[in-house]
Structure 1
Amino acid sequence: MFFPWINKLKDDPWEGRPSKLNFDENRIIPVRFVNGKDNPLEYRKLKDVLNRPGEIEEHMQAHLRMSRMFFINCWHMNDGESDSQWKIYGTSPFSMAVVSSFSLLSSAITDDKEIYGSRVSYYDPNNETTSEGNAFFLATHKRNAFIHEREFRLIYCDHSIIKTLDDPQGISVSIDLKILIQKVVISPLAPPWFVTEVKTFMQTHGLNMDCVQSELLNTW
C-alpha cells in the first residue's frame, strides 16, 4: 500500500501546516516560567514570549520542517457511497473503491514499520488555532473547506527526513489484501465487460470478497 509523502499531496496547499493564527504575534498563550521554583500558569502574548528578533518566524519554520516527516495513506469514512468521492477521485469509468474498516486495516498491515491511524479534524482557519502539543497534529488537521472528505489517515513518521533535502515520492507498506478488503465497489460508469474482468481477476488471485458495481446511478 502506497503512502505518499505529505508534501506531494497537492490538492491542499496547506497540507501539513498549522493554522496561520498559531503565529499571530498577539495570540494569547499559556506559559509557565520556571526559575528555580514551580510558578503558576500565566497568559502572555506570543510576541512577549518569543521576543527575540525573528523568533516567531523561526518558530513557524520549525513547524514546517517538522511536517516533512509524514507519509500519509488516505481513506474516506462513510457507511455508504459518496457521490463527491466518485467525482473527485473516481472520474475514470475504470475506477474502483476498496471498502475496509479500522480493525481490518490494523490487521492487514504486515510491515515492520510503525503505522498510526487517526481521523482528520477540521477547523476554521480564520478563527481557530491548531494544537501544537503533538507533532502528529500537523498531519491530522485540515481546513473546514475539506470537511466533505470525512478523512481517516494512516500515518508513517520518518524523523530522519526533517534535516535533509530529500524529496521522496512516498513509501510502500506491506499489507495482506485478503485481510484488508471487505468489498470492492466498481465505478457506476464502468462498462459491463470491465465488471466481469475485475471479478475474474479477483477470483483468479484468491480474492473471494464481494465485488459489486456501484448502484449510485441506478433508479427504481
Structure 2
Amino acid sequence: MFPELIAKSAEIDEGTVLWKYLDLSKFISLLSKKSLWLARVDTFKDKHEGMFPLEMKQTLDKIYKEFEKEENTKDGPIQNTTDFQQHLIKNAYINCWHQNLDENMVMWEIYGKTENSVAIQTTVKDLAESVSKKDLKKYKYKVAFEPVIYKKLEDILGQLTYESPFFIKRPHFKFEKEVRLFVSTYSTINPTVNTPIGIEMHVNLKTIIKDIYVHPDASSWFFDVVQALVDKFELSIPVKKGLYGNTS
C-alpha cells in the first residue's frame, strides 16, 4: 500500500522501475543525510516549469477580472493570474526520477555528467514506502507522486488541479520518461514567495535503494570507492557495474 499522503496515479503501477542518476557528491549527500533533495522548480534550467496551460490561464484570468470588482480583494499579494502562478512556483518542490526497465546512456550523460557517477534503482512502491511518515504529515495533502505528461501547454484541456502544471513538460523532453515526487508549501492563508531554494525529505535508504550501478566507463578504483561508501553506511545493497557505456 502507498502511504496515504502520496497520491497514486492511475497511470503508473507500483512495480514500475525507477532510476536516479547522481554524481558522487549527490550520492554521498543521499547516504549521509538519508534524505532526498527537492529543488524549488524555478531553480531548474527549464523556465517553462509550472506554467499554466492556456485554457487554465484563460479561466483564471476571467476569475481575477471578476475579483477586481470586489473592494476586499485589492490588498493581498495575489492580484492576478501571474501573481498566483509565481506564488505556486515559489512553493513547488520536485525530486525527479527516470522510468525505465534498464539503465540509459543518455541519462548517464545528462545527470551523471562524468564517469565518476552512480545510478540507484528502485520501484514506485519502494520509493513511496521509504519516505518519512513524519515528513509526509508535515506537508499533509500537498504531496504528489506522478509521471510527467509531455504536451504543449495549448493542448492541455479539461479540469486541472493547481498541482497539474508541475507535471507537464514540453514534448521534446519526452525522452526523460520522468516521474516526480512533488511537494507544495503554498498557503492560501499566508501566501508568500520568500521560500527556501529546496527542502529535504527523509527516506529509509534500505527501502528506497534496491541496486546501485556504477557508471559503465568508470575506473575500478571508483567502483571500489562506491563499494566502500556502501559498506561504511552499513547498507547490504548490491553494487554493480553499468553495462551501456561508451567503452563497455
Range of TM-score over shorter length: 0.7 to 0.9
CA contact (8 A) 1:183 1:210 kept: yes
* AA of the residue aligned to 2:223: V
- Partner SS, residue 113 of structure 1: helix
Residues 1:209 and 2:237 are matched in the alignment:
yes
Instruction: Identify which range, 136-145 or 155-164, moves more after superposition.
Output: 155-164
1:73 is the counterpart of 2:95 = yes
Residue of structure 1 in register with 2:198 after alignment:
170
CA displacement at 1:198 relative to structure 2: 1.0
Query: Which protein is bigger by CA-based radius of gyration?
Result: 1
Long gaps (5+) in structure 1: 30-45
Q: Using the TM superposition, name which of 203-212 and 182-191 deviates more.
A: 203-212
Indicate if the aligned counterparts of 2:91 and 2:195 stay in contact, CA closer than 8 A: no
- Of 108-117 and 192-201, more deviation after overlay is shown by 108-117
Mark the CA change 1:70 to 1:193 in structure 2 (over 3 Å): closer, same or farther: same
- How many residues in Structure 1 have an aligned counterpart in Structure 2? 197
TM-score (norm 1): 0.77
Q: Which residue of 1 aligns with 2:40?
A: 5
Distance in 1 of aligned mates of 2:56 and 2:64: 13
Q: Which runs of 5+ in 2 are unaligned?
A: 1-35, 70-78, 137-142
Alignment of 1:185 onto 2:219: no
2:130 alignment partner in structure 1: 108
Structure 1, 184-193 or 158-167: larger mean CA deviation? 158-167
RMSD over aligned CA atoms reads: 2.9
Counterpart selection for 1:149 from 176, 184, 194: 176
Establish whether residue 19 from structure 1 lines up as the match of residue 40 from structure 2. no
Counterpart residue number, 1:133 = 160
Cα deviations by residue, 1:118-171 (Å, 9 ceiling, x for unpaired): 11111024x513555311102111111111110001111212497223141201
Does the aligned pair in 2 maintain the 1:130–1:141 contact within 8 Å?
Answer: no
Instruction: Decide whether aligned partners of structure 1 residues 131 and 167 sit closer, same or farther in structure 2, where only a CA change above 3 A counts.
Output: farther
Whether the 8 Å CA contact 1:122–1:144 is kept in 2: the answer is yes
